[in-house]
Structure 1
Amino acid sequence: MSPPATQPRRALVVVDVQNDYDGGNLAIQHPPFAETVANVARAMDAAAAAGIKIVVVKQMAPETSPIFAKGSHGGELHAEIAGRGRDHYVEKALPSAFTGTDLEDWLRANAVDTIAVVGYMTHNCDLSTIIHAVHMGFAVEFLSDASGSVPYANSAGYASAEDIHRVMSVVLQSRFAAVLKTAEWIDCLKTGKLPERDTIYASNQRALKRNAA
């Protein structure tokens, strides 16, 4: 979606800030959890101060799951988030916060045209939610220092948490979202400045020029 012609009608979507990411069975490695969860909290406080509605999303898994198991400490919302105010709460079973939930209906009922996404993980639930939102016509902002990744190794190869987070952020900026830091986003709220957006073509052309240099 193109950025709104006027000031965005935002909602902050806080994705899966749960205890398993804080040194639990799916510990965030990059950027560090302590830093990123503090930025999630900052974003929530800034949104509340600006009158922006806040949606908190929680991943649900069966009691036998090694992560986010129903009734487990790891599956509960992190204290930084659980103790803060919210306007809507969503429980989901799949990566996108829109699939099988009332999130789209709630956003439209509240005249939201732009969602700002924070939480975990950059490359999984954040990515899925962002792409889903774009396909439904919402503009998206992604706070890259209020999210994070874990490393993976499987039959396709190995990727560090830093590589995954960095590459996903670059890809999102190229087409799907305005990627910015929490402090930059808060400044946008205060000043009315719109965050920078980009295109696939322009991103590719810059890379080609860099490679040729």
Structure 2
Amino acid sequence: MQAPAPKRALVVIDVQNDYFGGGLPIEYPPPQRTLANIGRAMDAARAAGVPVVVVQNTARAGAPVFDKGQPGWELDPTVASRPRDHYIEKTLPSVFAGTDFDPWLRANGIDTIAVAGYMTHNCDASTVFEAAHRGYRVEFLNDASGSLSYENSAGAASGEEIHRVFCVVFQSRFAAVVGTDAWIAALSAGGGFEIDTPYASNQRARAEAA
């Protein structure tokens, strides 16, 4: 028996000016590419009748980034210029934390969320993990999202490393990691994507190492 088609929502997280030449510039994948894919995903969702949720992060007043009302807090025109079905303003990484996101999804019969936006390892990851724990299927658009580099007392990692590793971890248990082209095609086909397991992912890595 064929599984029913996913009842999706596209969640576009924190596509705000501070990520583009502001205080937290996205490095990988290149933002000009990921922004274009975010716009394409929003347009395809609209055409397919998939609701679009736009999320905007707000920090404390005077914070170096995402200070409400400052230019860096504003949504990038790629998102601001497009229609949306629901808007969420949040103050914590997960879109679920302290918002009406979960009640809205359940009221609209959504069983699958597709995540795009920024950052892969922070607000995207928090949302992916919490969605999986709440019983939703999750799709992560890996070329419509991105990361930046870090250095702190634990070490250092490039934006490419952070993005790649989080994508591998997502696919191992929490989300189907797909490109925007494949996701748009799935909207027309009505199908979903497979998510791996930690065991199978580890077995492949061990076999490759051997």
Give TM-score scaled by structure 2 length: 0.98
Per the alignment, residue 21 of structure 2 pairs with 23
The two structures, once aligned, show a CA RMSD in angstroms of 1.0
User: Is this contact kept in 2: 1:63–1:71, CA < 8 A?
Assistant: no
- Letter matched to residue 163 of structure 2: H
- Letter matched to residue 54 of structure 1: V
1:190 CA drift (Å)? 1.3
Per the alignment, residue 50 of structure 1 pairs with 48
- Letter matched to residue 61 of structure 2: E
Unaligned runs of 5+ in 2: none
Unaligned runs of 5+ in 1: none
- Letter matched to residue 201 of structure 1: Y
Per the alignment, residue 145 of structure 1 pairs with 143
1:182 CA drift (Å)? 0.2
Q: Deviations over 1:153-205 (max 9, x none)?
A: 00000000000000000000000000000001001111223223211111010
1:101 CA drift (Å)? 0.2
1:178 equivalenced with 2:176 (yes/no): yes
Return 90-99 or 186-195, whichever deviates more. Answer: 186-195
Aligned equivalents of 2:133, 2:155: Cα separation in 1: 30
Q: Deviations over 1:12-68 (max 9, x none)?
A: 000000000111110000001111011011000000000000000000012210011
1:210 CA drift (Å)? 0.5
- Letter matched to residue 154 of structure 2: A
Aligned equivalents of 1:22, 1:196: Cα separation in 2: 32
1:93 CA drift (Å)? 0.3
Per the alignment, residue 9 of structure 1 pairs with 7
Q: Deviations over 1:132-165 (max 9, x none)?
A: 1111111100000000001000000000000000
Identical counterparts, % of pairs: 60
| SS of structure 1 residue aligned to 2:72 | coil
Aligned equivalents of 2:57, 2:44: Cα separation in 1: 24
Residue 200 (structure 2) aligned to one of 181, 199, 202:
202
| SS of structure 2 residue aligned to 1:6 | coil
Return 103-112 or 191-200, whichever deviates more. Answer: 191-200
Residue 71 (structure 1) aligned to one of 56, 60, 69:
69
Aligned equivalents of 1:113, 1:205: Cα separation in 2: 30
Give TM-score scaled by structure 1 length: 0.96
Aligned equivalents of 2:106, 2:141: Cα separation in 1: 22
